[in-house]
């Protein structure tokens, strides 16, 4: 069965490429998914050179300059030689190499070019980390970046954050309900507004209604209760807001289509990952109700449409329960089509898996539901003893 382990470039630099690949190949996996472009973070790394690793926004290879000639947005320099010799090292072990690429989550580019970031219903750009997929400069950057990663000779470009992202404030002492947070997180920049208007949506009405509802909660009104569904959103915010939310899928679908075509033109393939599974279960492995495939629309992801455009999908199966993993994989396959490659991304340790048996059960559930591959996230974030569970999961 196809499989891989997600690896950060800091793992390779800290422990050495040969040592990391030897250890991973010993687990019986068929490949590695290496962070070619990543976002800033601060991570506990139990067997890294530093036990607390500070990562920066950056492209960890040298992008071909001609791909970005004339573009306003260019990759933030990271570790320039992290992929040097990596393709050959993988080939020597008969391992595939996948290029993990974070596209639209980049605080450095957002701070340098605030106008390319999302804009809320109050007109504020409160999240300079999130580049808007409707902005023409962002779209040009994403396509060029995809080509650059594909030219590394990777077997696939694994796309993260190639869609809208949910609102994630670091602090909020206002009790926003899920629907209020969703409305507050919608982008109303000029490009999103124009694209929605071109589709016949009353974009200004939608924006004003979102500002009215969220503003009232800020002023002390009780937040809306319950999960975000289209029916609940219609009753709470009205049909214009729901139509605006639907219009976001055209923005994402066309962008992903352009990126997938660019990757294919470079001789590789796109693996699309939407972060709905992480939104639901990242913190504790207890995902909120509603399967990820059914709620992906909230991020502008139309899986049915993408099923005709993208060859492979990664499902972030961040759940403790094996049945939930199987249900999430099955729902994705029903949405994108049974002929598409679906890869289940599992966390082998905390907070999802407290034992080898639990990880084995989830890998079995993913395969039974139709997953063609199982990937494990992530090498540098968990102890060696947790990574040692992987062989059992693959051989079960």
Average pLDDT for 5-14? 97
Average pLDDT for 254-265? 98
**Rounded Cα distance, 173 and 367, in Å:** 42
* Residue closest to 186 by CA, chosen among 232, 136, 132: 132
pLDDT band at 168 (very low <50, low <70, confident <90, very high): confident
Homologous superfamily of domain range 2-118+127-165+251-395: Glycosidases (3.20.20.80)
Q: Is the pLDDT of residue 84 over 90?
A: yes
| Per-residue DSSP letter, 221 | P
Q: What is the pLDDT, as a whole number, of residue 353? A: 98
Where are the domains positioned within the chain? 2-118+127-165+251-395
* Residue closest to 345 by CA, chosen among 357, 354, 332: 332
Angle made by CA atoms 279, 117, 278, in degrees to the nearest 5: 10
Q: Is the pLDDT of residue 396 over 90?
A: no
Q: Give the burial string for 78-110 (b: 16+ CB within 10 Å, else e).
A: bbeebbeebeebbeeeebbbbbbbbbbbbbbbb
pLDDT band at 171 (very low <50, low <70, confident <90, very high): very high
Coil vs helix vs strand at 298: helix
In Å, how far from its chain's centre is CA 289?
A: 20
* Cβ-contact 83, 60 below 8 angstroms: yes
Reading the block at residue 379, the tokens are 């090498």
Q: Is the pLDDT of residue 219 over 90?
A: yes
pLDDT band at 1 (very low <50, low <70, confident <90, very high): confident
Average pLDDT for 254-279? 98
Q: What is the pLDDT, as a whole number, of residue 197? A: 98
Average pLDDT for 273-280? 97
* Cβ-contact 32, 7 below 8 angstroms: yes
- Does the pTM of the predicted model rise above 0.95? yes
* Residue closest to 160 by CA, chosen among 382, 390, 381, 375: 375
Per-residue pLDDT tens for 279-333? 999 999 999 999 999 999 999 999 999 999 999 999 999 999 999 999 999 999 9
Per-residue pLDDT tens for 33-66? 999 999 999 999 999 999 999 999 999 999 999 9
* Residue closest to 270 by CA, chosen among 384, 383, 101: 101
Percent of the chain with pLDDT over 70: 100
């Amino acid at each position: 069965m196809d499989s891989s382990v997600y690896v950060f470039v800091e793992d390779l630099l800290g422990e050495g490429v040969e040592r990391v690949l030897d250890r991973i190949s010993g687990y019986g996996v068929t490949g590695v998914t290496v962070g070619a472009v990543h976002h800033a973070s601060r991570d506990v790394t139990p067997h890294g050179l530093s036990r607390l690793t500070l990562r920066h926004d950056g492209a960890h290879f040298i992008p071909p300059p001609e791909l970005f000639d004339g573009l306003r947005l260019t990759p933030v320099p990271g570790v320039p030689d992290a992929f040097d010799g990596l393709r050959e090292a993988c080939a020597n072990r008969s391992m595939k190499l996948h290029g993990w690429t974070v596209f639209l989550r980049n605080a450095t580019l957002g701070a340098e070019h605030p106008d390319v970031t999302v804009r809320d219903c109050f007109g504020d750009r409160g999240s300079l980390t999130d580049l808007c997929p409707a902005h023409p400069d962002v779209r040009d950057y994403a396509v060029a970046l995809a080509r650059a990663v594909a030219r590394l000779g990777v077997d696939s470009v694994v796309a993260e954050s190639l869609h809208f992202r949910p609102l994630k404030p670091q602090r909020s002492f206002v009790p926003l309900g899920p629907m209020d947070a969703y409305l507050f997180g919608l982008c109303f920049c000029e490009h999103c507004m124009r694209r929605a208007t071109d589709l016949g949506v009353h974009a200004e009405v939608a924006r004003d209604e979102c500002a009215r509802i969220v503003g009232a909660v800020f002023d002390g009104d009780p937040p809306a209760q319950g999960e975000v569904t289209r029916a609940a959103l219609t009753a709470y915010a009205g049909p214009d807001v729901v139509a605006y939310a639907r219009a976001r899928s055209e923005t994402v679908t066309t962008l992903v289509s352009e990126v997938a075509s660019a990757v294919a033109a470079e001789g590789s393939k796109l693996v699309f990952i939407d972060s709905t599974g992480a939104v639901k279960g990242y913190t504790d492995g207890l995902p909120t109700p509603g399967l990820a495939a059914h709620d992906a629309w909230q991020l502008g992801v139309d899986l049915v449409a993408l099923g005709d455009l993208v060859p492979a999908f990664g499902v972030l199966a961040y759940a403790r329960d094996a049945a939930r993993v199987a249900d999430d994989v099955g729902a994705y396959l029903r949405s994108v089509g049974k002929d598409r490659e679906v890869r289940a991304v599992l966390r082998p340790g905390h907070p999802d898996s407290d034992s080898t048996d639990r990880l084995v059960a989830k890998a079995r559930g993913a395969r039974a539901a139709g997953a063609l591959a199982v990937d494990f996230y992530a090498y540098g974030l968990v102890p060696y003893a947790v990574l040692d569970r992987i062989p059992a999961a693959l051989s079960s």
